[in-house]
Amino acid sequence: MNAKRSVGILATGSYTPDRVLTNFDLEKMVDTSDEWIVSRTGIRERRISSSEQASSDLAFEAAKRALEKANISAEQLDMIIVATVTPDMMFPSTACILQEKLGAKRAAALDVSAACTGFLYGITTATQFITTGMYKYVLVVGVETLSKITNYKDRNTCVLFGDGAGAALIGEVNEGFGFQSFELGADGSGGPLLCQPAGGSRIPASSESVENNLHYLSMAGGEVFKFAVRVMNSATEAVLTKAGITKEEIDLLVPHQANKRIIDAAVQRFGLSEEKVAINLDRYGNMSSASIPVALDEAVQAGRVKEGDHIVLVGFGGGLTWGASLLKWSTTPVEGSEQ
């Protein structure tokens, strides 16, 4: 094994389906209104995958874009981690399906299930493999097709969720750059607050489970909201403290895109200007594990991320889970590294 090394994000990529579902479309489906949705969530539209698209299809498009930007071939990947709660099927893992689609014959592959915090769990895991020298390149993809498990007769949840995929190639960066700190957490006692009740071994699929809508996602919105505001703040504070960075030194905050009011509370807590926050939930809604990587990729593409910037990624989700990471941005290859 080599000595520990600095690890960061070498490239990002994202993909969202073509179909747009607006608030005005939803007005025709359930008892809701554009004004009600926007005032309570900040969401105006979301992307919906086609009947032919599974999560691995979205992940494939995002992964290709990340690899192209990094000028890395799929054959060079050592590992693929897919964060999702909407896998193509119970098994094999979506990561294995993606591995085959990419032609990444050398890569180990596994899925991570941490709901909306999945991407953060994924990049934290990937970093450990590279820090120790076991692997060189790990592809992490956050992908969801939440429209497949959303009840479009439930006005409280159907307005929130959308589909998409975001990818990040994790690898070695120059000393002092890359990930500076991580914070992960979980509280299993809150599991019932945000879940998909049926389809596993507790409630196997049956005509009764289908009739009772138990294969759709279920959420206690008020309780999740209070939890989210609390852990968004505490997780961000934790990674700042671990890295020895002050809130004034944050150049960009990339939060999980669940609700504009939750993001606003965090922004107010840390005294950030709008220019220092990546927000796209008005166009995509809550894409669960895809939210953070898609928002990050769009910020990178828009030129909002510069070499040496301090970037905070922070999220929360079902489990209940939460997580954050702080990185000093650099996509510059390590000297002597064949990229």
pLDDT beyond 50 at 1: no
b (16+ CB within 10 A) / e for 118-153: bbbbbbbbbbebbbeeebbbbbbbbbbbbbbbbeee
Going from the C-alpha of 298 to that of each of 68, 249, 289, 293, the distances in angstroms are 16, 21, 15, 9
Q: How confident is the model at residue 145 (pLDDT cuts 50, 70, 90)?
A: very high
pLDDT beyond 70 at 149: yes
310 given a catalytic annotation:
no
Catalytic residue of the set 116, 158, 259, 310? 116
b (16+ CB within 10 A) / e for 250-287: bbbbbbbbbbbebbebbbeebebeeebbbbbbebbbbb
State the average pLDDT for the chain: 96
Catalytic residue of the set 23, 256, 280, 310? 256
Q: In the prediction, which pLDDT does 3 show?
A: 62
Counted domains in the chain: 1
174 given a catalytic annotation:
no
For the chain, give the percent of residues with pLDDT over 70: 97
Domain residues for the domain of 307 are: 1-339
Q: What is the pTM of this model?
A: 0.96
233 given a catalytic annotation:
no
For the chain, give the percent of residues with pLDDT over 90: 95
Residue 141 is part of a domain; what is its CATH number?
3.40.47.10
pLDDT tens-digit series, residues 41-96: 999 999 999 999 999 999 999 999 999 999 999 999 999 999 999 999 999 999 99
Q: In the prediction, which pLDDT does 335 show?
A: 67
Q: How confident is the model at residue 332 (pLDDT cuts 50, 70, 90)?
A: confident
